[in-house]
Amino acid sequence: MARIVFTSNLRRHIDCPPIEVAGQTVGDTLREVFSGNPALRGYVLDDQGRLRRHVLVFVDNERIKDRTGLSDPVAENSEVFVMQALSGG
């Protein structure tokens, strides 16, 4: 199962500890996480199901390419890292 890790910045706003889930794509794995933690979805995805503008996802240290369909592949032993970029001044 893939391991999903959320940055401490996201964890400050919502309880989302690292978790292991099954899935073949980024979308599959995130749906699994959201099924057990529905409030987290709004922090990561917009109302169209795409990554929010300031959210980045890496699979095995590679930034995903498909921010809309979340179709990037995830292997059984992958690590998926979800981070929310900080902005402001």
Listed residue (21, 16, 9, 17) closest to 78, CA to CA: 21
Residue 85 has pLDDT above 80, yes or no: no
What is this structure's pTM? 0.91
Pick the more confident residue, 86 or 68: 68
Is residue 20, in this structure, part of any structural domain at all? yes
Question: Rounded to whole angstroms, how far apart are CA atoms 54 and 42?
Answer: 12
Total domains present in the chain: 1
Range of the domain at 67: 2-84
* Residue 6 CB coordination number (10 Å): 24
Is residue 77, in this structure, part of any structural domain at all? yes
Mean pLDDT for the stretch of residues 71-89: 88
Is residue 89, in this structure, part of any structural domain at all? no
Give me the pLDDT at residue 88, please. 58
Rounded (5°) CA angle 75-78-83: 125
Give me the pLDDT at residue 32, please. 97
- CATH code at 9? 3.10.20.30
Is residue 39, in this structure, part of any structural domain at all? yes
Is residue 69, in this structure, part of any structural domain at all? yes
Task: Name the band, by pLDDT with cuts 50, 70 and 90, for residue 11.
Answer: confident
pLDDT per residue as tens digits for the range 20-64: 999 999 999 999 999 999 999 999 999 999 999 999 999 999 999
